A and B are shown apart, each in its own frame.
Chain A
Amino acid sequence: MGSLAIRGGRVIDPAQKLDRVCDLLLADGVVAEIGEGLSGDEEFDARGLVVSPGLIDLHVHLREPGLASEETIATGSAAAVAGGFTTVLAMPNTDPPIDNPAAVAYVYLQAARADLANVFPAGCVSKGRAGKELAEMAEMDHAGAVAFTDDGDWIASSRLMRRALEYARGLGRPILCHCEETDLVAGGVANEGVQSVRLGLVGRPAAAEEIAVYRDLRLAEAVGARVHIGHVSTAGAVELVRAAKSRGLAVTCEATPHHLALTDAALEGYDPAFKMNPPLRTEEDRQALVAGVADGTIDAIATDHAPHAPEEKEQEFAAAPPGVVGLETALGVVLDRLVGTGALDLGTAIQRLTSGPASVLGLLPRGTLCPGAPADVTVIDPGRSWRVEPAEFRSPGKCTPFAGWELKGRAVLTVVAGRVKFRL
């Protein structure tokens, strides 16, 4: 395999506390060297650009096996690299669910066929995602599952959750939690508050998320297991995680670009592009999330990329399925709305999109540019202005809350294992 020199860019690798203009040499699928005057078989002029470790999204729904009209591993991988992501974690709430080792192997097979991004599978916690019996977590671990989750739903049974945490502890794998207490959110489609009451939409209260977060943290603490809280969306949930971390718990959490950039004020026109679980919350919650990302309470920014076929989303608000795509807009939204506004510095933003999620999933040194690390690199043009045009998405899922937004900052080169997989 030939070598690739990315020359003259501002190389930012938060894991090494590196931020300087220099060259980066990739060879034999790994990072060979960082320094001056490096050359390779191929060269990329990165002057004026930012060179980052390849972005990692630890919360992506690729829908395969399932409906190709929503997404496949191939289309999702294409969307990933177009958005600057070199690695994604595929959620197991597919149809049928990824709850056995053969299904885990199938994800790897389809990802290899697509040959674009690195795709790691998460396996289900429970058989059939039914929340009753443990799935074959050890077998799935052996087949390459890097985490376990029944994402989409909370594990309502505290007894099952406790056993799952104990079992996963033995495997050294985290359990990823979708925290919304099932009974309290039944029938709900929007954050419970003034906006949902005004619009006549059934609410999903913040308390439902916080109760679920508290239970999962408490169980993880009791059994000494690693737990990761997905898509934290309320100020109270951020506070619970912050307090748990200060007690020394092995807890991590993530926030999505839509929860970081939007509030339930966006529901005004009943557009299902703003419907997701957990729902968009209040401005106070949004600010608490941004503060949590800035101070490290929130370890990762993850998209919860959840494609649906357009005809599914173009329904009445209450009838439309929750979830929006995010792979092709996440970087732009983070750079424009968080870094561009001064809420977050560029290095922190990159950390939450690289070594942060890598650390959650135990993938380090992936997510860094340490010599010997996988040659996954994202080159970003922080000054490039662009407009979000869903029709141009690689994903068949076009439903995004950011349609038409003018954003500044975009990936212009995505390199996976030393090979260019996307170039703008």
Chain B
Amino acid sequence: MTWTRMHLLGLEDLSREELTALLDEAARMKPVAAREKPGLKDLAGTIVVNCFFEPSTRTANSFQAAARRLGAEVVSFSPGTSALKKGESLADTVLNLEAIGGDVWVVRHTASGAPGLVARHVRGSVVNAGDGQHEHPTQGLLDIFTIRERLGRVEGLTVGILGDIRHSRVARSNLWGLKALGARVVLIGPPTLLPPEFAAMGVEATGDLDGVLPELDVVNVLRLQLERMQDAYLPSAREYARVWGLNSERLGRGKPNLLVMHPGPTNRGVEITPEVADGDRSVILAQVTNGVAVRMAVLRLCVAAGRAAAEAEGVAAAGGPARG
């Protein structure tokens, strides 16, 4: 069995075989993901807790849909409705939710590493739904899934990731996954948002979008947070759009079948123009659709691995398999 992990905290540690197992499983899930009641019972009787310590609509809804299609019950938790503002710690919060029946944990948090902290406290599987500036593994997987679906392969492709690389967990998850699957990864962005340390991770880095654009098979455009202007990372949104924004004119100089992706939500007119975001090269909505299938695959495989581990432990605790 290729997949033995009960948690998915990031893509960095995953082998090519593990990534392929997840992508293949997602491909199997895709036809049923579209149906509201596909009749799957993998997570029947399970409570999936959607712990979104940082607000999100897209990812939270996607995980909720994925969990329900697998037959799970979903409990949603967000800071607005929680005890966090009363000073309760992350560990106490999840232990309380576990005490009321939580089995599987989907964790989004502003702090890098927080899902790992949750995993050390709870018994069930933990899926990272985005932690700080660290990783967003299911987004990385759904991006790669979409590339594979549209272009038929990942190996040998040149994938550009464009924008605020420094603060992006999406960029980190993508680069690990893409690298492991044999793609050439080029990070593109202003020097303030593209630290040279990324070069040590086995990817290329450049500030010259126009120079590298003709080589790209895929360009994944990241959202630019407008508060970056206050931190002196950038002079203005206008200058950013002119130098690093993706527009029709630039697109015309790319490969004819260049795939345009964006993890959303888009700042139209800043990192991407509306014509490009809505144009025929864009697979932005396909990414969202694929997100449900990918998250079903992740929940299914992680929960199965967790059950297998618990069973093995139970057998070991009982002194080995019973003899007839």
Contact = CB atoms under 8 A, between A and B. Distances in A.
Contacts of A365: none
Contacts of A385: none
A316 B94 CA distance: 13
Nearest to B198: A197
Which of B91, B111, B114 is packed against the most chain A CB atoms within 10 Å? B111
Interface in A315-368: 315-319
Contacts of B110: 318
Contacts of A316: 90, 109, 111, 113-114, 117
B197 A193 contact: yes
A317 B110 CA distance: 11
A264 to B, nearest CB: 12
Interface stretch (A1-9, A198-206, A227-235, A393-401): A198-206
B89 A317 contact: no
**Chain B contact residues, majority secondary structure:** mixed
B117 A199 contact: no
Interface residues of B, number: 25
Contact of B197 (A197, A311, A319): A197
Contact of A200 (B134, B200, B201): B134
B89 A200 contact: no
Contacts of A198: 12, 172, 197, 201
A190 to B, nearest CB: 9
A386 interface: no
Interface string B162-196: 00001001001000000000000000000000010
B132 interface: yes
A158 B56 CA distance: 44
Nearest to A187: B231
Which of A270, A314, A315, A319 has the largest number of chain B CB atoms within 10 A?
A270
Nearest to B171: A200
B200 A194 contact: yes
A196 B172 CA distance: 12
A318 B89 contact: no
B112 A201 contact: yes
Contact of A270 (B117, B133, B195): B117
Interface in A175-211: 193-194, 196-202
Q: Number of contact residues on A: which range applies?
A: 10 to 19
Contacts of B195: 197
A200 B198 contact: no
Interface string B193-212: 00101101100000000000
Contacts of B109: 316
A248 interface: no
Contacts of B172: 198, 200
B201 A315 contact: no
B214 interface: no
Contacts of A194: 197, 200-201
A203 to B, nearest CB: 8
A269 interface: yes
Nearest to B131: A200
B228 to A, nearest CB: 14
B135 interface: yes
A248 to B, nearest CB: 38
B169 A200 contact: yes
A269 B116 contact: yes
Interface string A18-38: 000000000000000000000
A287 to B, nearest CB: 19
8 contacts: A193-B197, A194-B200, A197-B166, A200-B131, A200-B134, A270-B112, A314-B89, A315-B117
Interface of A: 193-194, 196-202, 269-270, 311, 314-319
Given A197-B198, A269-B116, 4 more contacts: A194-B200, A196-B197, A197-B197, A315-B89
Interface of B: 12, 89-91, 109-114, 116-117, 131-135, 166, 169, 172, 195, 197-198, 200-201
